[in-house]
Amino acid sequence: MKTFIILLVLGAAGYYGYTEYYDTSGIVEITGNIQVSQQGNFNINAPQLGEDLCMATIRGTAKNTSDKPLKNVLIKYKIAGISTSAMIFDLGPQEQLEFTTLGVKTKGRHPAFFLENVQFEEKN
pLDDT single digits (tens) 75-105: 999 999 999 999 999 999 999 999 999 999 9
Residue 42, exposed/middle/buried by CB under 10 A (0-12, 13-18, 19+)?
Answer: exposed
State the pLDDT at residue 19: 62
Q: What is the pTM of this model?
A: 0.73
Question: Which residues are 36's β-sheet partners?
Answer: 56
Going by C-alpha positions, the residue among 86, 80, 96, 78 that lies closest to residue 119 is 86
- Average pLDDT taken over every residue of the chain: 84
Per domain, the residue ranges of the chain are: 27-122
Class of 27-122 in CATH: mainly beta
Q: What is the pLDDT of residue 18?
A: 63
Q: What is the DSSP letter of 4?
A: H
